[in-house]
């Protein structure tokens, strides 16, 4: 407990994101049912109450959500629902159900009326009928051209039979596209990566928060740009099989390119910039079987963030620079199945992730100035990466002190970092090139983490690679320097700019998909489709000045 207290002292107001409220307000007896909104589901999904009951929803995730009635004309007896702007992490919403009935609702950011993040309140003796919304059956196969055949991307997606391709001409499309399960295995492709643009215009209208939201298996999205969405640029949730290739996600309000609760996927040749959370994100999958490769992230809160994600998850041959933090696999209770585990981070170039001119939220404020951080994860391999010019840590393996960071969250728990291997990296020019703090409760606990074959100059504690070498017993002299760790993490930093106005650089010259207008459609049914020989990947050369 003394260690926890010592860590807690330096925590500055505002350093850990928005303040969270208690689980219940003072008049707790008035609320007989509670629902948590976590990323990305309502827990429980269905509640049964008596007339006159007030239900309290609390956002206990790391992302904003909203609550919207699933069916038009559904009579709640009073205005129902809460907008995204009023339901950020830590916020609450309450509603009193006065009449018997079945009341269906969903989050437009992370689901639809029929699938994804949705819930039901059953009042009285009603059965849970009528909670589903029927959708029209798809009608077209082959290639559907936008706007040649149908005027909008959403119209074309709604018409697409499984296996069809939606081919989108250059232009700016002010729409949010949702792919429901009836349209599995379709391909959505732009004719020009920089010319086929989905622009959300920062609208928070229901359905316009994401550029493309996919709830169907096997969907590939290729060769286009999504910008100015209040939540995500490109988003897959709850799917088996996904691919995002030659995508650019710029200035979106949560994540750029994002897969949640999804398996068997790949992001390649893609670019994420200007998101306050992460440019790339893969979360909540214990056997992800996923790959991020040949991609770039800059000017985000975090280049890559992955909560509770691992199991044949590889992040390779990509560039992560000028974010607040570079690559941050992490554990947390805002998503299911913690802790994070078994990812491979190999052959990446990670530098200049000290950018306090970028937007930032949540984890980005804690990891500010770090290159690669395994935050409360287990059994990860960090190998043959080039990391340089980090204000705090080059490569760090650290505990996730969630109880300190989110003290008002009743789900919070600390996650030790265990079984991670850091081998053969080039790490220079950081305050601490290598860092290990495996446990809050015991500074002498190495957590069976090890460091070997790295080129480095400084570490915390000093001489780290000699203290915890891979393949040998750890030295009994190992002791984490908790005070130095806390002094770098729990500090007051300048308030980040709003993502809508942060001064992003112009995107680099980015390649188009080859033969975008004519290449055959290939659904995401065999991902990851790029087969990496991980053992042959070398430390990348230093970038040219």
Q: Which residue has the higher pLDDT, 7 or 498?
A: 498
For residue 417, what is the domain's CATH number?
A: 2.160.20.10
pLDDT of residue 4: 35
Inform me whether the pLDDT recorded for 21 exceeds 70.
no
Judgement on whether residues 341 and 209 belong to the same structural domain of the protein: yes
64-78, 415-429, 448-462: which has the minimum mean pLDDT? 64-78
Domain count, the chain: 2
pLDDT of residue 407: 83
pLDDT of residue 430: 96
Inform me whether the pLDDT recorded for 73 exceeds 80.
no
pLDDT of residue 28: 38
- Per the DSSP assignment, residues forming a β-bridge with 263 are 240
Inform me whether the pLDDT recorded for 200 exceeds 90.
yes
pLDDT of residue 260: 95
Judgement on whether residues 292 and 420 belong to the same structural domain of the protein: yes
The rounded distance, in Å, linking the Cα atoms of 383 and 459 is: 17
What DSSP string runs through 206-238?
Answer: TT-SSSEEE-STTEEEEEEEEES-SSEEEEEES
Q: Is residue 291 part of a domain?
A: yes
Question: What tens digit of pLDDT does each residue of 456-514 get?
Answer: 999 999 999 999 999 999 999 999 999 998 888 878 788 899 999 999 999 999 999 99
Note the pTM of the prediction, 2 decimals: 0.87
- Which range, 42-56, 122-136, 527-541, has the best average confidence (pLDDT)? 527-541
pLDDT of residue 78: 84
- Please give the residue range of the domain that contains residue 453: 143-489
Average pLDDT along the chain = 89
* Alpha-carbon dihedral angle through residues 440, 443, 449, 455, given to the nearest 10 degrees: 110
Judgement on whether residues 374 and 479 belong to the same structural domain of the protein: yes
pLDDT of residue 127: 59
pLDDT of residue 128: 52
pLDDT of residue 418: 98
Question: Who contacts 539 (Cβ-Cβ below 8 Å, separation ≥6)?
Answer: 347, 384, 385, 386, 424, 425, 426
Judgement on whether residues 90 and 169 belong to the same structural domain of the protein: no
Question: What tens digit of pLDDT does each residue of 75-100 get?
Answer: 888 888 888 888 888 888 989 888 88
The rounded distance, in Å, linking the Cα atoms of 275 and 253 is: 6
Q: Which residue has the higher pLDDT, 545 or 389?
A: 389
pLDDT of residue 18: 30
pLDDT of residue 12: 30
Inform me whether the pLDDT recorded for 394 exceeds 50.
yes
pLDDT of residue 99: 84
Question: What tens digit of pLDDT does each residue of 227-270 get?
Answer: 999 999 999 999 999 999 999 999 999 999 999 999 999 999 99
- Indicate the pLDDT class of residue 14, thresholds 50, 70 and 90: very low
Judgement on whether residues 150 and 294 belong to the same structural domain of the protein: yes
Q: Which residue has the higher pLDDT, 56 or 271?
A: 271
Q: Is residue 532 part of a domain?
A: no
Judgement on whether residues 302 and 401 belong to the same structural domain of the protein: yes
- Indicate the pLDDT class of residue 284, thresholds 50, 70 and 90: very high
Q: Which residue has the higher pLDDT, 401 or 397?
A: 397
- Indicate the pLDDT class of residue 26, thresholds 50, 70 and 90: very low
Question: What tens digit of pLDDT does each residue of 418-428 get?
Answer: 999 999 999 99
Asked if residue 348 lies in contact with residue 296, where contact means CB atoms within 8 angstroms, the answer is no
Q: Is residue 515 part of a domain?
A: no
pLDDT of residue 125: 73
Q: How many CA atoms lie within 13 A of 458 on its CB side?
A: 13
Q: Is residue 510 part of a domain?
A: no
pLDDT of residue 493: 81
Q: Could you tell me where the beta strands, DSSP code E, fall in 295-431?
A: 296-298, 302-307, 313-316, 319-321, 325-330, 343-346, 349-351, 370-375, 381-383, 386-388, 393-398, 400-401, 414-415, 421-423, 426-428
Q: Is residue 238 part of a domain?
A: yes
pLDDT of residue 519: 97
Pairing label, strands 381-383, 414-415: unpaired
- Indicate the pLDDT class of residue 524, thresholds 50, 70 and 90: very high
Inform me whether the pLDDT recorded for 10 exceeds 70.
no
pLDDT of residue 16: 30
pLDDT of residue 126: 64
Question: Which region holds residue 347: left if phi is over 0, alpha if psi is between -120 and 50, else beta?
Answer: left
Judgement on whether residues 168 and 64 belong to the same structural domain of the protein: no
- Indicate the pLDDT class of residue 212, thresholds 50, 70 and 90: very high
Q: Is residue 130 part of a domain?
A: no
pLDDT of residue 15: 31
DSSP assigned state of 496: P
Judgement on whether residues 267 and 395 belong to the same structural domain of the protein: yes
Judgement on whether residues 370 and 432 belong to the same structural domain of the protein: yes
Q: Is residue 502 part of a domain?
A: no
213-222, 282-291, 492-501: which has the minimum mean pLDDT? 492-501
For residue 82, what is the domain's CATH number?
A: 2.60.40.420
Q: Which residue has the higher pLDDT, 130 or 149?
A: 149
Judgement on whether residues 280 and 347 belong to the same structural domain of the protein: yes
pLDDT of residue 131: 44
Judgement on whether residues 26 and 117 belong to the same structural domain of the protein: yes
Judgement on whether residues 380 and 341 belong to the same structural domain of the protein: yes
Inform me whether the pLDDT recorded for 17 exceeds 70.
no
Asked if residue 412 lies in contact with residue 392, where contact means CB atoms within 8 angstroms, the answer is no
The rounded distance, in Å, linking the Cα atoms of 531 and 493 is: 41
Q: Is residue 497 part of a domain?
A: no
The rounded distance, in Å, linking the Cα atoms of 415 and 337 is: 12
């Amino acid at each position: 407990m003394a260690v926890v207290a010592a860590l807690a002292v330096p925590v500055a107001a505002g350093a850990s994101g928005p303040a969270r409220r208690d689980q219940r307000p003072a008049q707790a007896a008035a609320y007989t049912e509670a629902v948590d909104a976590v990323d990305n589901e309502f827990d429980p999904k269905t509640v049964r109450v008596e007339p006159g009951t007030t239900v309290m929803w609390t956002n206990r995730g790391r992302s904003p959500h909203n609550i919207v009635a699933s069916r038009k004309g559904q009579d709640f007896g009073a205005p129902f629902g809460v907008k995204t702007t009023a339901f950020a992490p830590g916020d609450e919403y309450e509603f009193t159900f006065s009449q018997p009935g079945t009341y269906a609702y969903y989050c437009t950011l992370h689901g639809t009326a029929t699938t994804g993040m949705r819930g039901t309140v059953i009042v009285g003796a009603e059965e849970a009928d009528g909670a589903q919304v029927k959708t029209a059956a798809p009608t077209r196969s082959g290639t559907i051209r936008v706007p040649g055949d149908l005027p909008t991307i959403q119209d074309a997606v709604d018409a697409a039979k499984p296996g069809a391709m939606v081919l989108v001409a250059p232009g700016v499309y002010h729409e949010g596209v949702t792919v429901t399960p009836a349209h599995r295995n379709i391909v959505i492709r732009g004719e020009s990566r920089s010319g086929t643009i989905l622009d959300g215009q920062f609208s928070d209208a229901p359905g316009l928060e994401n550029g493309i939201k996919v709830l169907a298996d096997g969907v590939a999205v290729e060769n286009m740009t999504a910008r100015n969405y209040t939540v995500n640029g490109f988003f897959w949730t709850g799917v088996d099989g996904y691919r995002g290739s030659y995508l650019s996600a710029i200035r979106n309000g949560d994540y750029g390119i994002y897969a949640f609760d999804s398996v068997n996927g790949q992001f390649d040749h893609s670019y994420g910039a200007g998101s306050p959370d992460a440019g790339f994100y893969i979360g909540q999958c214990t056997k992800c079987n996923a790959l991020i490769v040949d991609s770039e992230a800059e000017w985000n809160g975090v280049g890559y963030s992955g909560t509770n994600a691992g199991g044949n998850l590889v992040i390779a041959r990509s560039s992560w620079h000028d974010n607040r933090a570079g690559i941050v696999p992490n554990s947390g209770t805002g998503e299911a199945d913690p802790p994070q585990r078994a990812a491979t981070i190999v052959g990446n170039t990670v530098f200049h992730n000290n950018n306090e001119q970028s937007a930032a939220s949540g984890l980005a404020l804690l990891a500010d100035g770090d290159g690669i951080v395994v935050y409360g994860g287990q059994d990860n391999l960090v190998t043959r990466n080039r990391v340089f010019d980090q204000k705090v840590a080059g490569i760090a393996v650290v505990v996730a002190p969630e109880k300190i960071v989110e003290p008002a969250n009743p789900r919070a728990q600390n996650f030790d970092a265990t079984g991670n291997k850091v081998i053969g990296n080039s790490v220079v020019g950081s305050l601490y090139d290598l860092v290990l703090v495996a446990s809050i409760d015991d500074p002498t606990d190495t957590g069976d983490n090890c460091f070997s074959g790295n080129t480095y100059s400084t570490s915390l504690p000093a001489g780290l690679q000699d203290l915890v070498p891979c393949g040998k017993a750890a030295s009994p002299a190992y002791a984490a320097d908790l005070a130095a760790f806390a002094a770098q993490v729990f500090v007051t930093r300048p308030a980040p700019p709003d993502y809508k106005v942060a001064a992003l650089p112009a995107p680099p010259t980015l390649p188009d998909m080859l033969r975008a207008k004519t290449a055959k459609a290939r659904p995401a049914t065999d991902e990851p489709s790029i087969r990496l020989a991980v053992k042959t990947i070398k430390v990348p050369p230093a970038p040219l000045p």
